[in-house]
Structures are given as C-alpha cells and as structure tokens.
Structure 1
Amino acid sequence: MSIQTPIRGLRSFCVAAKCLSFKHAASQLYLTPSAVSHQIKQLEEQLGTELFIRGTRSITLSAMGKQFYQSVSPIIHELESTIIEFTQRTSNKTIVIALPEFFASELFIPKLKQWSEQYPEINLQLEMMSVGEEASPLADLSIVLSSGQPNASIVNELFPMRYIPACNPQVFEQFNQSPQSLNQLPLILHRSRPWAWHQWAELANIDNFDPQQIIQLDSMYGIARAAQQGMGVALIPLPISQAWFDEKSLVPLFDCALDTKDRYFLIQHENLNNRPELTLFSQWVNQTFRTN
C-alpha cells in the first residue's frame, strides 16, 4: 500500500467495518455516507482488493477485509489514543514531575495549594520515586537527591541535607543526655548511609561508640515514623523533616548535626525549553524550596 494513504480513509474503514454500515459510520465520523463510501473506495483501489461486499441494503466484510481490519484496527486505536493524550496535554498544559516520596509528602504537597491557586489552568502529574530510583523518561521535571551534581541539561540546587539524632518525647524523657547512652538504644538510619551513625559519633567526639543495635530502613518516611513510634533514636534529615519537630512528634537529642554532600536538585530536560508553563513551574519550585 502506498504511504500516501490518508489516515482518515483507514479510520473510516475501521468504523464502517465495526458497525457494518456506511450510514452509521458517517454519523460517528460527522461525514456524509457518500464521503465515507468514497474514502473506502479510494482505499480499496490502493490495496487492489475489495474490503466490503456491498448488498442492496447492507454491507459485509470480504475475507481480505476481515484480515485487513484485524491488522489495522489496533494501530488506528493506538494512534487515536495517542492523539487524544497529546491534545489533552497541550490544551490542559500538564506538567509531569518526578520526585522522591518523602520530599513530596513533607515539602512539596503542603506547598502545592499555593501553585494551584496561582495557576489553576496548569495541571500537575506527580510520579513518586524511591531513593536511588531513576526518574521516568516521560517526566518534564525531576527533583532528585544526590551527593554530586546530576548529569543533566539544566540543574538548580535547592538545598543541602544534614542529619540530627532525634526520638519521640517518651524516649527523650528516659534518656539521660549522655552520648554513651546511645549504645543501649536501637539506632535507626537509612540503608543507603550504613555508616552515618559512626560518622556522627566521630563528629560529636563520642568515645567508645559501640551501638548494641542498628536498624536500617529504605524509606526516609519509615525512619521518621519509626522514631516517632518509639522504636529508638534515628538520624533525621533536615530541613525536610522540620514539621515533625514543629509538631513535637520528634525531639532532637543533641545539637550536633551531621552535614553531608547530599543535596536536592531540580532537573529540567533540554528538549522542553519551549514550554512557558515549565518556566513558570521551575521558577515557583526554586522560589519556594531553594535555600541560599
């Protein structure tokens, strides 16, 4: 078949093949029955075969018509779905942003009302990521936690991370404020930073640091939640967990914080610079979450 075959002819054929009526197909396509018949006739001429057996008051698919419909129908359906998706995305100005779950729950979503009220015509689609997980290739923007500068076209640093020992108020009341007492309590940290407690102890000049139990979790939210439930003392990331301290769900044990190279970055992909809504959203993210 020639590559010049118009898409509308294939679509008219699929609709007519489904309802077995040029009249009903024309109604669905907002065309006249003669226009549908003409488009299908052109398609048959290009294929060199009849797709329909035409009766006085009815039509049926020929053997070749059935085979052609089975091959073409899924392609036309997928094409229509893609066109609808892109049309909706263009008209609605939807932005897809990938971001870590803890960042989303503790910082992004609580501030999202500001954006929604300022730009109600721009939709957002959030895709949550676990620590270390790569962002979806379909994302327009990404927020990532990294110890180094991400390899991307446009990168803006938002803020660095530091970690502070904390527990719930009940454990705090039982704690005698001696650094050595940490050896008798379960110590909680993220499994991606298995030596973080030892690094903190060295920074705090704690001698004979030998914890009885260390619990590693793969979720920042899980770490904060475990400490809040009284499981032990956790290295809590700041400033991202500040709300837990403001609400008195967690209490800091020491002033000494472990500063790291970990930083949150906003990444914009190079092939999307011509979308003004992305510029607006990037500016809002930077103004809202960036610290100097």
Structure 2
Amino acid sequence: MRRLPPLNALRAFDATARQLSISAAAQELHVTHSAVSHQVRQLEQWLGKSLFVRHAGGVRLTAEGQSLKQAVDQSFSMLVARCEEIAEQAPIAEIVLGAPGSFLANWLIPRLDRFEANYPGIRVRLQTSTAMDDLRRQVVDCLIVSDRNWPADVEVVSLFDETAGPVCAPSWPHRIAKPTDLPSQPLLHTSSRPHAWMEWASRNGVEPAMFAEGRRFDHLSLLLEAAAAGLGVAIAPALLVERELSQGKLIAPLGFESNDAVFALCAMRGRSDKAFCDLREWLVKESAA
C-alpha cells in the first residue's frame, strides 16, 4: 500500500506553490482562502516540515517546499498527459470468432495481421468451435463453419465453396489411382463429419456402404495427424489441409472436388454492430482474393 498524503492537500499545495499566493490559489481552485490554508497546514503536518514561509505579500517556498514542488510538477504533468491520452483513445471492440481449429491454423491466423493492421480498433479473439449452440448462448459472437443446411435463426454469409478429397502420407504404400482402389484400404473418419467418406463415394459412383468402416477421430486435426503418420487414408476439405499439403506431410492422390457444402460466416440474425460488420466485410474480401 502506497503511503501518500491526501490528494486535495497536494492540489492545494500545487496551486499555492505556482501562484505563491494562498488567495490566488483559492481563486484557481474555486474554494475559500481558509480551505487552502487548512489543506496546506494538513500537508505540512503530514510531512512534519514547513513548506512555505508566510509574509505580508504572500508566501515563498522553503527548501523542502521547493523539492516537493518539483516532484508534484512532474507527477501532475504526467498524470494530466496520460489521462488525456487515455480519454482520446478509441475504445477497443472485441469480437469472439469460432471456427474449426484447422481453419484457424491454415487460413485465418496467417491473414489475421492484415485485419489488425486495417482495423486497429477491433480485437478478434479466436476460439475452436463449430457449434450453433455456442452462437445462441453467446459463447462466440460469430462462427465460420462448413455445412449445407442452415438454421432459420442464423444469418449466413457464404465465403468458400467446399471441396474435399482423400489425403494420405506421401509414403503410403498402397496404390490410389481411382475411387475403387480405396474400399480395401484403412480409412480414417472424423466425428464432426461422420458421413464424409460415404458422401464422397456416392459422388464418385462407388457403393457408399463400402466406405463405412475404419478408424474414427474426434477432431480433424487428429485425423490429419493420423493420416500423416501412415495409419490410413483420410478425407478432408482442401481448405483445411493446405498447410499439410504445402509442407509435404500429406498428398491428395485423387485431388479435390465440390461436395455442395460451403464455408460460411454465421451470426444471429439482426446483428449489426460495427465490429461485426467490419469483420464480415474483410472476410468476404479475403475469401474472394
């Protein structure tokens, strides 16, 4: 705990030390002569030192008073400057954006510095989430998720068409030249998109039931790590495996194709605050680029 004299006493001392007159200090502070005198005496009692020598024309500072004046001048000037600086600062708006972890890592985080440079008054806090209930319970302010069907109470702005395809380690020993090569190989699934393999098979003219079996993972990041480690062949959206492909950890032997889903920015209907609108506009521009 800081041991300081009363602030009002310091203010009275500051005005008196600058004016070298109790009457002038009282006028500056809009209080009575006796109020200033009382505050100065209180400060002198607190310090156990005389700060002024009184005379008929006013007051003059003692050596201790001169020393305190220098400290008070510096401190009050610093306080005034910092308070003005804080008062003039634009408020920082925070917005919580939820998205799949792979989307954050592969697409959004590498671009986030550009957003912050263009919108210094907005702080985006990222959270791994794909649940509409998180949006409804205001755990997140908005979501970027991939889907085909959207709830009626949610406003949706499309960003990317989703393309998906099989991915595996570059050293994967089994031949993958066509869709029918895959049913006999270990397949990797994710709980967030449990039917992804069967949907892909249906689009490629292969019996979907042949793609139902395989190892399952709770999260896409674990799925991709398993594929990179050579545990099997995964299916994943192209957008979410860009980093693994560019790093050579995974390959896409059959490429990627549209699955009619889109990555979209979702928010509760009617949301129109400036931070959200600015983020929405920036995401649309970035996705178009």
- TM-score interval for Structure 1 and Structure 2 normalised by the shorter chain: 0.5 to 0.7
CA distance in 2, matches of 1:287, 1:105: 19
Q: Which residue of 1 aligns with 2:205?
A: 205
User: Does the C-alpha gap of structure 1 residues 208 and 276 become closer, same or farther in structure 2, counting only changes over 3 Å?
Assistant: closer
For each residue in 1:66-96, what CA deviation from the matched residue of structure 2 results, as whole angstroms up to 9, or x when unmatched? xxxxxxxxxxxxxxxxxxxxx9xx8222222
Q: Which residue of 2 aligns with 1:278?
A: 276
Q: Which residue of 1 aligns with 2:101?
A: 101
1:229 aligns with 2:229: yes
Q: What RMSD over aligned residues (CA atoms) do the two structures have, in Å?
A: 3.7
- Output the TM-score relative to the length of structure 2: 0.59
The structural deviation recorded for 1:284 is: 0.5
- Counterpart contact for 2:129–2:143, Cα < 8 Å: no
The structural deviation recorded for 1:139 is: 3.3
User: Does the C-alpha gap of structure 1 residues 194 and 220 become closer, same or farther in structure 2, counting only changes over 3 Å?
Assistant: same
CA distance in 2, matches of 1:123, 1:240: 24
For each residue in 1:88-109, what CA deviation from the matched residue of structure 2 results, as whole angstroms up to 9, or x when unmatched? xx82222222223222122111
Q: Which residue of 1 aligns with 2:266?
A: 267
- Counterpart contact for 1:185–1:232, Cα < 8 Å: yes
Q: Which residue of 1 aligns with 2:127?
A: 127
Q: Which residue of 2 aligns with 1:288?
A: 286
The structural deviation recorded for 1:233 is: 0.5
Classify the secondary structure of the residue corresponding to 2:221: helix
Q: Which residue of 2 aligns with 1:61?
A: none
Classify the secondary structure of the residue corresponding to 1:144: strand
User: Does the C-alpha gap of structure 1 residues 145 and 91 become closer, same or farther in structure 2, counting only changes over 3 Å?
Assistant: same
The structural deviation recorded for 1:190 is: 2.0
The structural deviation recorded for 1:219 is: 1.2
Whose radius of gyration is greater, 1 or 2?
A: 2
Classify the secondary structure of the residue corresponding to 2:138: coil
CA distance in 1, matches of 2:130, 2:266: 17
For 1:288, give the aligned amino acid: E
Q: Which residue of 2 aligns with 1:149?
A: 150
For 1:247, give the aligned amino acid: Q
Classify the secondary structure of the residue corresponding to 2:177: coil
- Counterpart contact for 2:100–2:130, Cα < 8 Å: yes
The structural deviation recorded for 1:165 is: 1.0
CA distance in 1, matches of 2:95, 2:183: 48
- Counterpart contact for 1:186–1:212, Cα < 8 Å: no
- Counterpart contact for 2:197–2:211, Cα < 8 Å: no
User: Does the C-alpha gap of structure 1 residues 176 and 196 become closer, same or farther in structure 2, counting only changes over 3 Å?
Assistant: closer
CA distance in 1, matches of 2:154, 2:171: 48
Tell me whether 278-287 or 263-272 shows the greater mean CA deviation: 263-272
Which stretches in structure 1 are left out of the alignment for 5+ residues? 1-23, 28-86
For each residue in 1:242-266, what CA deviation from the matched residue of structure 2 results, as whole angstroms up to 9, or x when unmatched? 2322222211122463x33432221
- Counterpart contact for 1:244–1:250, Cα < 8 Å: yes
- Output the TM-score relative to the length of structure 1: 0.59
- Counterpart contact for 2:95–2:124, Cα < 8 Å: yes
Q: Which residue of 2 aligns with 1:19?
A: none
The structural deviation recorded for 1:286 is: 1.1
Aligned residues: 211
Q: Which residue of 1 aligns with 2:254?
A: 254
For 1:106, give the aligned amino acid: N
